[in-house]
Structure 1
Amino acid sequence: MEFYLAAVLQGLCFCGIAAGIYISMKIFNIPDITTDGSYTLGAVVTAIMLSHEISWYFILPVVLLAGALAGSITGFIHTKLKISALLSGILVMTALYSVNLKLMGRSNLPSLNYIGLFSGSSLIPSSTGGSLTILVAFIVILGLIIGYVLITDFGLAMRATGNSESMIRALGINSDRMKIIGLAMANALTAVSGFLMAQLQGFTDINMGIGIVIVGLGSVIIGDTAIRRFHITLVWLSLLLVFSGAVIFQLVLAFTLSIGVDPNLLKLVTAVFVLLIVALTQLSFKRND
């Protein structure tokens, strides 16, 4: 039971990545690979600031700003330098590896012995159950904020940019600026996942972000399958399904390990699982058409 509870905790930590990829892929139709670097960046900033005994509520805004900066650089390269979104993300992701390594000063940085989000309080004890309560509350607040932003006029302009860029330009809205802001938001949310994971697992590793975009993509695909299947249009419910997809994804991986699959093959299993989700989803909807 503890094994699956740990998977749920990881899934909740990855909700930020799922939300970020939902914004970049589903709203703006941009394949953003910056995710691998901005996730690690969030964890690195968190570990460094915790080591200087800075409280987590001061760390969170800095993490958001760092992730937003990474995303905005990708957006700038894509929109202003006219480089494809995929290559822009790869370039920034590659650069972030060196940035993260330079900031850390070494390949691994512990954060277990410092007071953070999961250290407990008089109301919520420091335990697995306490961590679950804190994470659920954190993700609910995060989801409410994202949902509110997406239903404002600004959020509608973001969604319209992804649906029809020519139309949004005709209305006098700068689509390039919207893309930069959108990618900044997406990577800020991704960095939040790094912020949470660094404190949950108690350390930050320079390679922790490798392949993490696949986890987020799988989470979004699971949620998007339900959204399309049941024709859901409510933003709040869509976000809930995307967040649920992140948890389900981790539970599937936990089940895979529990039946005896070699942990060294976990990345391979993850890739195959996402491939199956995408293939079955496409075949299913084509058959319905």
Structure 2
Amino acid sequence: MSAFAFFGALEIGLIYGLVALGVYLTFRVLDFPDLSVDGTFPMGAAVAATAIMGGINPWVATGMAIVVSAAMGWVTAFLTVRCGILNLLASILTMIAAFSINIRIMGRPNIALLGQETILTPFESWGEALYMRPLIVGVLVLLSAWLVVRLLNSDFGLGMRATGVNARMVAAQGASTGFYTYFCLAISNGFVGFAGALFAQTNSFADVTSGVGTIVVGLAAVILGQTIIPGKKIWVTILAVVVGSILYRLAVAFALSSGMFGLEASDLNLVTAVLVALALILPKMKRPGQRATGMKVSSPTTHVNHPSKPQTKPSSGEPL
């Protein structure tokens, strides 16, 4: 693998680390299967690209992308909480609607950003762009991961985590599970929209089909990262999610760039499916020497049965 391919895969892996953070919040924390990320990822790219082409500052354009994508996550929560639609179906409806909205935002299926100023442009003068771009993206991703860790370790984050584990218990304590759902879906899709905005600015284009398979990539990063770096602490889990995204992209780049497997760019979905399957299978494989049944064998000790003393009923004069 060449240096250009390595740093390119590292940059894309860091960008999709934001997607993995959003997927982790919905799937792992809230236990909400949110498929709307396939629509909010290109929405973040569409809003940022359209705003930059309109002469808006790239940082402001990125913030607009985050807000609009978070609003789409709020719509998914509204369909579930207020309208009573099944969470999976609600996210699919939002994803379908986002496709048409993205075309409306851009006015056409794609926008090119060649020659336009982005949030990475001022930093490219500090050094070689091949190395500086992954560094700046990495700083933004680490800052986002730190914010997620602080959120989940707070009292509010504890209530959000409890909602994903047992919503009835949270409601019995007088807390609003609906509010936690609104907030979690909004911030999750906000991170995904942030990733889409960075993707458009680093690749100099925004396309309405760029979000196809985003949920699969996010799940692959979460599963792969938690398999390689297991841990119960929040910061370890968040770090594992980001590392899983980077390793996933590096593995895909290595598999497609090396000729030993005979893979082509069209085999990307096949490589993704194989990596996710391996990440799911490996933790379930029995260690050598472990019994298949998983039953514990008690030690051959002799048990002595002692006769219990007969219980005597108290007399009428004794207190019960």
Q: Which TM class, normalised by the smaller chain length?
A: over 0.9
Contact 1:53 1:115 in 2 (8 A): no
Deviation of 1:53 (Å) = 2.2
Q: Partner of 1:120: helix, strand, or coil?
A: helix
Matched, 1:22 2:24: yes
Counterpart of 2:122 in 1: which secondary structure? coil
> Which structure shows the bigger proportion of residues in helix conformation?
1
TM-superposed CA distance for 1:123, in Å, is 6.4
Q: Could you tell me which amino acid in structure 1 is paired with residue 247 of structure 2?
A: I
Q: Deviations over 1:74-128 (max 9, x none)?
A: 1111122221111111100000000001111111101131111121348634611
Contact in 2 for aligned 1:30/1:85 (Cα 8 Å): yes
More displaced, 206-215 or 275-284? 275-284
Q: CA RMSD, aligned part only?
A: 1.9
What amino acid is the match of 2:205? F
Partner of 1:151: 153
Go from structure 1 to structure 2 and tell me whether the alpha carbon gap of 1:288 and 1:280 turns closer, same or farther (over 3 Å shift).
farther
CA contact (8 A) 1:118 1:126 kept: no
Q: Deviations over 1:231-267 (max 9, x none)?
A: x232222111100000000001001111231111212
How many corresponding residue pairs? 286
Sort the Cα spacing of 1:126 and 1:30 in 2 relative to 1 into closer, same or farther, 3 A: same
Aligned counterpart for 2:138 among listed residues 128, 136, 139: 136
Aligned to 1:35: 37
> Partner residue of 1:195?
197
User: Distance in 2 between the 1:56 and 1:279 partners?
Assistant: 43
1:152-178 deviation per Cα after TM superposition (whole angstroms, max 9, x unaligned): 111111111111111111111111121
Question: Which has more radius of gyration?
Answer: 2
TM superposition score normalised by structure 2: 0.85
C-alpha distance in structure 1 between counterparts of 2:146 and 2:268, whole Å:
33
Q: Which moved more, 1:242-251 or 1:168-177?
A: 168-177
User: Aligned to 2:34, what secondary structure does the other structure show?
Assistant: coil
Counting only pairs closer than 5 Å after superposition, residues 75-90 of structure 1 correspond to structure 2 as: 75-90=77-92
Separation (CA, whole Å) in 2 of partners of 1:122 and 1:244: 25
1: CA distance between counterparts of 2:273 and 2:206? 23
In structure 2, do the counterparts of structure 1 residues 49 and 237 end up closer, same or farther at CA, with 3 Å as the change threshold? same
Provide the residue aligned with 1:102 in structure 2: 104
- The 8 Å contact of residues 110 and 204 in structure 1, kept in 2 or not, is answered as yes
Give 5+ residue unaligned stretches, structure 1.
none
Write the distance in 2 (CA, Å) between the matches of 1:64 and 1:207. 19
Within 2, Cα distance between the matches of 1:283 and 1:177?
A: 39
Check the 8 A contact 1:47/1:111 in 2, yes or no: yes
2:314 is matched with none
- Aligned counterpart, 2:312: none
Give the Cα separation in 2 of the matches to 1:11 and 1:80.
36
**Which residue identity lines up with residue 253 of structure 2 in the other structure?**
A
Contact 2:9 2:253 in 1 (8 A): yes
Please name the residue that 1:47 is paired with: 49
Q: Per-residue CA shift, 1:53-85, capped at 9, x if unaligned?
A: 222221222112111111111111112222111
The answer to whether the 8 Å contact 2:41/2:196 transfers is yes
**C-alpha separation between the residues in 2 aligned to 1:20 and 1:83?**
21
Larger RCO of the pair (alpha carbons < 8 Å, separation 6+):
1
**One-letter amino acid matched to 1:40:** P
Specify the alignment match of 1:264 in structure 2.
266
SS at match of 2:111: strand
Tell me how far 1:148 sits from its aligned partner.
Answer: 1.1
Aligned to 1:223: 225
Distance 2:265 2:5 in 1: 14
Larger CA deviation: 42-51 vs 257-266: 257-266
Shift of 1:288: 10
1:243 maps to which residue?
242
Q: Which runs of 5+ in 2 are unaligned?
A: 295-320
Matched to 2:61, the amino acid is: I
Check 1:80–1:281 CA distance in 2 against 1; reply closer, same or farther (3 A cut): farther
* Partners of 2:48 and 2:128 in 1: CA distance: 19
Secondary structure class of the residue paired with 2:126: coil
Matches within 5 A, 1:147-186: 147-186=149-188
**Structure-1 separation of matches of 2:216 and 2:227:** 16
